[in-house]
Structure 1
């Protein structure tokens, strides 16, 4: 297929076939019915990603987005997803001056918010495998317009007159390139201002799965602030956390600790389980078993802008890699997709009648609208997660009291709690 930008139809290159890139490709193929869309990804075409166990937390807005793509019903029917019906936020440290017997905590439920769930939890493979299958089916049905290039690394992007040159196996020119391949913080180069902000939190996230007692409440996500850092449990479908082990109520664990004074690294599995049972509130119940844990360094990489000098945009982790304290990275990327396509839709509808130079200017105007509309949401979330992540490196004891009192007050302020719930589910609007 000739993908040069000199043709009448809008041409779009998407770099990265992860969840954000595939969501963009699938939705673009529908919302931009004249556009020619090519997805590049370095992984081999025959690589099976369905078993990738990495845990993803979807907000209710993201679940609805996948529903509009026609994917969520099949993903849910697989039995490999778990709804989040309640979020419980508390802290381990005592709150000085708190007048009540029960420690302060914030509890947000789907029932209070009038929604079936606040979000859902699933594995990376459970989400991306059906997205990839749907995209490949779309490519097979419309091969003259849609292209998938597996096993193809993009080595560079260069703005040229009339578009952007994508340097892969051969150099192709597109009207627009969208970078959706971000990876994790440890694999990303540090950003230098004004390009963006990089911050190493000097924290390690230990991740895995735990087996809960059968009495543990179902569908509850726990966020726990501790002196070492935040810890979270996210509900998973019932199953075993170790090969051949007992099956039961499971949760995904994210356990953040200081890199330089790591209390988890030096322990064996039995000791880790004992320590973990002291971290979460009594509502969780006994944590009976733990899978082997993997460690990941934590940091912030946030590009100042979503749009480069030419027609190149960034979405998802390619634009911002956040601390997992809020669990909002993928949700932010899917909101990027929605806003970008809304900005491009008008160009696609008139592209066949628009001169090349005019279309290039129209693409840049659309990208400016996309960036302007997305910045409030992304900057608010970047600032919020950055503040929470860094607050655990501050030693002042008064911070725990302030945070605890804040949790207690928030629980009593229904409008504020509703606003927080809407922000969690749908982002800043």
Structure 2
């Protein structure tokens, strides 16, 4: 069986075959499973080698505190109310935890619904970063038979977060487009991002969780309009990173995202340094925007009516360019405090990050690529950046120049110049040369 030997100074380690070529994660709907001898393996050699070298070369570089506000409901109360869990439940982030630990980071949990203060650091002096999940809405009223007021997210928790961040602890906030929930009598109710008020008031950042970034392609049957590709609705390809240290190495990576939302600078808010990390660029073809009516678009898509789409046709749509991940920094008592807000938070839940990426290979044939686990590198790089360990951020592959789309007017001019004028000029020169030779 293949094994890799790793030497770091006087220390020697071994990487097994299962670490380099692990079995593909089995999907919940796959009740039959692969036939014997046909298990699919995924190459993970780069991650395995990097993790082994980091763990042998040094102690853990930092600590990630998974920060959330969740409160389970006792069994006898489940008929009156459900448990409080945010749009990104902590229990669905197991793959994210494993990838962070392999990046030589320790992961601890802090449930702010149960504990007022974060857990004690595992090692004194080790830098920490809060990975903050969206808190849930509290129950609207006190449940029957209970004398206690319901525990809800509020100013107390926001103040505690602000104290820690002002004291030098970095924070990464996860946000995304949150689909409206069904309320009473069949009405749809938007899911608020309860951290938005805190981010706008203290950092001048707003996550537009009511908008969903959508990609479309030109409709050949209706010039000037677009059609919605089915696969890009769930697996949105986007790697337009800026020069920010957390994103620059990922420009040439294969990254797919789920339910992406814009992260923009709030107008007229506290003076902070706003720096974009991942953006939706302005495209000459104009097929990407943040839609304010994603439910209507989704309905059209799956009913086979996803043609004739006009980006930005709704009043509340947002046209590019705009960021979907950004950093905000400010000076507090002579020290620089930093946070990073990622509008791709739902891309880290296990059902998505462990799912193979589908693609069409021609006709009606469907193939799959490995799951988008590289998305975790954005969080890993953000943590390295916030704890001051930028030298551990991988360089990443070099971007390959893309063939740019030529607008129709420019293409017409190119055809005239190189298809008509240039041949005529050559014929004229040839004719002149021939006449001169005859003389």
Q: Same fold (TM over 0.5)?
A: no
More helix by share: 1
TM-score w.r.t. length of structure 2: 0.24
Instruction: Please identify the structure whose Cα radius of gyration is greater.
Output: 2
* More RCO (CA 8 Å, sep 6+): 1
